[in-house]
Each structure stands twice: as C-alpha cells, then as structure tokens.
C-alpha cells in the first residue's frame, strides 16, 4: 500500500546498506549499527521491511517470527524528517501482518530502561511493558513489551 508516496516492502541488501549509510538520520547520536545484522535481512526477508519513497528509505523494521509463534521486533526506526507522521505505526502494522502470515500469535520488543520515547510509542500501540532485571546481562535491565495479535 502506498500512502504519501511511501510504500512498505521487504528489505533487500541494497536497502540494508542504505539504512547503514544514513544511520544518523534514523538514530541521531546513538550508534546502533552493531544491532543491524545483514543476516536478518538475508534470512528473515519477509519480516524485515522498509518504507521507501522517491527520496529514499523513510523508515524500517527488522524482525522475525520465533518457533514459539512470537513476532519479535529487533529494530524499528523512522527517518528524522518523517517522525510524527504515523509511519512507525504503519511499519508496525505491516510487520504484524507479515508475522501473522507466518503463524505469529503475539508480538514482542525490547528497549533500554532509559528509552522513554520507545516506551511511550509501544504503550500507544497497546503493548504491555515490564522491566526485566539482567535481561541483557548482569546489571543490564531492559523493558520488555508484549501484546497479542492482531495489532
């Protein structure tokens, strides 16, 4: 579906490299490149999606479906000039639909305890949130989000 000239489609390796080249436009000063794994696009192409328009990739979501039927969102980001337009919601909706086609019954995501923007976004989508101590190693709590499908 195309809205405002933006079409959500599966990511490919070219899109992956474009996202990394434009990394600051999505993440600002936070260096999140280590979490971007080309193998995800290679192996989970149906659930790694980009929002593409004439001016490039406006946003993306990289995720996969687990054997336990959970659609796990590994990364979701929108470009600095598209924030507040609803694109993040559209990306989540497209991911949820793709995950459901693969048998997912629920969605899951995580973020740092300090990332209040991500927490507010996920809560606005109806996710329940809980802090899990030591989730990312000793002394590294994370906020774990979950919700049933459909989105």
pLDDT tens-place string over residues 108-124: 999 999 999 999 999 99
Q: Report whether pLDDT(26) > 70.
A: yes
pLDDT at 30: 93
Q: Which residues pair with 62 in a beta bridge?
A: 48, 75
- Give, in words, the CATH class of 2-148: alpha beta
Pure H helices in the chain: 13-21, 23-27, 38-43, 87-101, 116-124
Whether this prediction's pTM lies above 0.75 is answered by yes
Q: What is the per-residue pLDDT for 124?
A: 96
pLDDT at 4: 82
Structure tokens that stand for 47 in this block: 């659930």
> Are the beta carbons of 108 and 65 closer than 8 angstroms?
no
- Check residue 121 and give its pLDDT: 96
Q: Report the C-alpha dihedral over residues 135, 146, 22, 46, rounded to 10 degrees.
A: 110
Domain ranges for the chain, please list them: 2-148
The residues facing 75 across adjacent strands are 62
Indicate if the pLDDT at residue 2 is higher than 70: no
Indicate the SS3 state at residue 6. Answer: strand
Which residues, at least 6 apart from 104, have a Cβ–Cβ distance to it below 8 Å? 65, 69, 70, 71, 96, 149
**Each residue of 54-96: pLDDT tens digit?**
999 999 999 999 999 999 999 999 999 999 999 999 999 999 9
- Considering the chain, what is the average pLDDT of its residues? 96
d(CA 105, CA 70): 6
Is the pLDDT at 1 greater than 70? The verdict is no
pLDDT of residue 150: 86
Cα separation, 146 vs 142, in Å, equals 13
pLDDT bracket for residue 3 (50, 70, 90): confident
CA 94 to CA 60: how far, in whole Å? 10
């Amino acid at each position: 579906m195309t809205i405002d000239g933006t079409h959500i489609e599966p990511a490919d390796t070219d899109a992956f490299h474009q996202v990394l080249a434009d990394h600051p436009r999505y993440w600002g000063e936070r260096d999140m490149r280590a979490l971007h794994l080309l193998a995800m696009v290679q192996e989970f192409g149906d659930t790694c999606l980009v929002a593409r328009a004439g001016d490039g990739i406006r946003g993306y979501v990289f995720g996969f479906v687990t054997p336990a039927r959970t659609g796990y969102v590994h990364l979701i980001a929108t470009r600095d000039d598209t924030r507040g337009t609803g694109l993040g919601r559209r990306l989540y909706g497209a991911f949820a639909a793709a995950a459901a086609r693969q048998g997912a019954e629920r969605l899951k995501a995580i973020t740092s305890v300090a990332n209040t923007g991500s927490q507010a976004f996920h809560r606005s989508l109806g996710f329940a949130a809980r802090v899990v101590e030591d989730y990312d190693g000793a002394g590294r709590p994370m906020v774990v989000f979950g919700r049933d499908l459909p989105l």
